Amino acid sequence: MIAYVTVGADDLALAKQFYSAFLPALGYQLEEGPEGLSYALPAQPDHSFVPPDFYVKPTFDGHPASAGNGSMIAFEAFDQSQVRALHAAAISAGGSDEGQPGFRASYGPRFYVGYLRDPQGNKIALFSSNPSDPARDG
């Protein structure tokens, strides 16, 4: 089970602007401290599963942060409309488009996804597979 995910950032203010543009809408709460940014989903009473935290921190070795080639972090949205809205908000907050929201032929008929890069270059996916939303044709 994944306990947490961490990405490096050289500019925490810019990273905060980017991630705060969409993570609170997905239920994440921000704690900010001298060690960086911590986004966490609140614990659910009577649930043993604890969703992983997401951290944005300066590098420990002092060298510039870098994005991993082939690495991506995906956050689940509630529906297709939210994927579109949060993708646009994240771009307005300093991110860059890596793939407009929509269906992808290589995924299931309900997997709706938009891709981004954060200001540091980390690849982020915002997706929904809500059964109440329309499915891909074909």
User: What is the tens place of the pLDDT at every residue in 49-97?
Assistant: 778 999 999 999 999 999 988 999 999 999 999 999 999 999 999 999 9
Residue 111 reports pLDDT greater than 70: yes
Stated pTM of the model: 0.91
Report the topology of domain 4-128: 2,3-Dihydroxybiphenyl 1,2-Dioxygenase; domain 1 (3.10.180)
Measured from the Cβ of residue 41, the count of other Cβ atoms closer than 10 Å reads 15
For 43, phi then psi, to 5°, come to: -65, 140
Residue 56, classified by CB atoms within 10 Å of its CB into exposed (0-12), middle (13-18) or buried (19+), is buried
Which residue reads 């891709």 in tokens? 115
| Lookup: tokens for 82 | 């939210």
pLDDT higher than 80, residue 29: yes
pLDDT over 70, % of the chain? 99
Mean pLDDT of 115-123: 97
pLDDT value of position 138: 62
pLDDT beyond 90 at 37:
yes
Q: What is the average pLDDT score of the chain?
A: 94
In sequence order, the β-bridge partners of residue 112 are 103, 128
How far CA 41 is from CA of 36, 101, 103, in Å, comes to 17, 24, 27
Report residue 47 as tokens. Answer: 């649930």
